[in-house]
Amino acid sequence: MIISWQLLIMLIFSCLFFAWFLYRPVKSGLSDDESNIAINKQRQEELAFDINQGLIDDEQFQVAESEIINTLANELKDKSSHSIEIKPMNWSIAIFILLSALSIAIYFQLSPKFLPSNQVLSEPMSMSESIEKLQTFLEENPDDFQALKMMGLAQIGIGNVDDSIETFERAYQINSSDIDLLLQYASAIAAKQEGQFDGKSKELIEEAFNLDPQSEQVLYFSGIVAAHEGDLKGAIELWEKALYLMPPDHPDRNIIEEALDTVMNLQVK
């Protein structure tokens, strides 16, 4: 987690803002009674307007007017009581502690472990630069699951399959129930086996399927395993289900549709 000076300024600015209003509160406006009196007075004026317009007759006017008076009588509470003074300093400190503790704790939970450098924003980092950066980070945080996963992906990206398998295995030892990791790990092993999804690779996909049989990605990979085993019907079922679950504009639809076409053509032949 990175707490920079900008975030601290945001925090302090917020606390000072609230402290200012604790020392100098916003002026209180109307009371309920004042408001109800004004509104019912306005209603009486509207009633007078209605009778002048001929919208109601005298009898209706009398009834409606007494209703307004009764309503107002019921609404007036006379709950006038003096406001109790507070100690602004105590409340300012309490708000400061609450705001700081909660926001930093939540940010700690949600923030990325390290930030992409500014260089990334102007020109994309090369894959080897990414690996270097990740390696430095992993030296300090050897058990960071996300970083290990990213490292494995980056290593695959530069064609270093052996290293990626090793890295994915480290990540797997930390968290074996991450679907994304299971699929990436299986792909890396399959890449080493010339595209064959068998052995450990197949086991990993089965694990992912057991964890979430509704995931489109898992269904896609399970379909590949089925197709490799010659179970074309099973592959078609899995991919059709994946397509059914995918939103119509999902960018991966084309890949699954192509795979489905290929298998269907094979089945026809």
Partner 1 sequence: MLIEVGHFALILALVISVILMVVPSIGLYQNKTSLSQLAKPLVWAQGFWITVAFFVLMSAFLTNDFSVKYVAENSNTQLPILYKASAVWGSHEGSLLLWVFVLSLWTVAVSIFSKRIPSNLINQTLIVLGAISFGFLLFLLFTSNPFERLMIPPVEGRELNPLLQDFGLAVHPPMLYMGYVGLAVPFAFVLSALIRGQLDSTWIRWTRPWTLISWSFLTIGITLGSWWAYYELGWGGWWFWDPVENASFMPWLVATALIHSLSVSEKRGAFKQWTVLLAIGGFSLSLLGTFLVRSGVLTSVHAFATDPTRGLFILIFLFVVIGGSLVLYTWRSSLLQQSNPFSMLSRETGLLINNILLVTAMLSVLLGTLYPLILDSLNLGKISVGAPYFNAVFVPIMIPGVIALAVFPYVRWKKDSVSRVFNLLKFDWICVVLLTLLSWIFITKNIFVIVAIGLFIWVVNHVMVLFLKRLKAKSKVTMAFLGMVIAHLGIAVFVLGATVTTQLGIEKDIKMTIGETQTIAGYDFVFNGVSPHAKDNYSGFIGDISVFKNNKKVTQLNPEKRLYQTGMPMTEASIDPSIARDLYVALGESLEGGAWSVRIYYKPLVRWIWLGGLMIALGALLAAVDRRYLVRVKS
Site for partner 1 in 226-265 (CB under 8 A): 244-245, 247-249, 251, 254
Q: Check binding of 63 to partner 1 (CB under 8 A).
A: yes
Q: How many residues bind partner 1 (CB under 8 A)?
A: 89
Please give the distance of CA 165 from its chain centroid, rounded to a whole number.
Answer: 30
Cβ at position 124, least distance to partner 1 in Å: 4
Least Å from the CB of residue 102 to partner 1: 4
Which two structure tokens, joined as six digits, stand for 208? 């992912």
Instruction: List the one residue from 58, 73, 121, 265 that touches partner 1 (CB under 8 A).
Output: 121
CB of residue 26 to partner 1, shortest distance in Å = 5
Q: Taking CB under 8 A as the rule, does residue 160 contact partner 1?
A: no
Residues between 18 and 47 that touch partner 1 (CB under 8 A): 18, 20-22, 25-32, 34-36, 38-40, 42-43, 46
Closest CA relative to residue 175, chosen from 134, 140, 143, 153: 143
Q: Please state the closest distance from residue 110 (CB atom) to partner 1, in A.
A: 6
Q: Does 97 bind partner 1 (CB under 8 A)?
A: no
Of the two residues 88 and 234, which places its CB atom closer to partner 1 in the complex?
88
Among 111, 141, 193, 196, binds partner 1 (CB under 8 A): 111
DSSP the chain: ----HHHHHHHHHHHHHHHHHHHSPPPP---HHHHHHHHHHHHHHHHHHHHHHTSS-HHHHHHHHHHHHHHHHHH------PPPP--HHHHHHHHHHHHHHHHHHHHHHHS-SSPPPHHHHHSPPPHHHHHHHHHHHHHH-TT-HHHHHHHHHHHHHTT-HHHHHHHHHHHHHH-TT-HHHHHHHHHHHHHHTTT---THHHHHHHHHHHH-TT-HHHHHHHHHHHHHTT-HHHHHHHHHHHHHHS-TT-TTHHHHHHHHHHHHHHHH-
* Among residues 44, 65, 88, 191, the one that binds partner 1 under rule CB under 8 A: 88
> Minimal distance in Å, beta carbon 82 to partner 1?
8
Q: Is 208 in the site for partner 1 (CB under 8 A)?
A: no
C-beta of 24: minimal distance to partner 1 in Å? 9
Q: Pick the closer one to partner 1 by CB: 2 or 266.
A: 2
The span from the CA of 14 to the CA of 10, in Å, is: 6
Least distance between partner 1 and beta carbon 193 (Å): 25
Q: Which of residues 124-153 bind partner 1 (CB under 8 A)?
A: 124-125, 127, 130, 134, 146-147, 150, 153
